[in-house]
Amino acid sequence: MPFDALLFFGDNGGGDQFAFVQRPGRPDIFVWEHESDSRRWVAGGLRDYLGRALSTGGDDWYRS
């Protein structure tokens, strides 16, 4: 997935960044993992993202 299709909005404090998918338009949120240059699905939308991130209490909640 190219970077120009992503709208970055946050990070985990260690370099990995979270983004909305702009093209094609969809509500999913992906993480760009800077160490491996991979892009991976983490949530089905903003509400899902916030629920997952806030329920774990850790910065690397998306890796499990």
Say yes or no to pLDDT of 63 above 90. Answer: no
Total count of domains within the chain: 1
Mean pLDDT of 14-27: 92
Give domain status of residue 25, yes or no.
yes
Say yes or no to pLDDT of 22 above 70. Answer: yes
Mean pLDDT of 31-42: 94
Give domain status of residue 64, yes or no.
no
Full residue range of the structural domain in which residue 32 is found: 3-57
> Which of 19, 16, 21, 24 minimizes the C-alpha distance to 8?
19
Q: CA dist 46 to 23, 53, 59, Å?
A: 17, 10, 17
Give domain status of residue 62, yes or no.
no
Say yes or no to pLDDT of 2 above 90. Answer: no
Give domain status of residue 33, yes or no.
yes
Give domain status of residue 52, yes or no.
yes
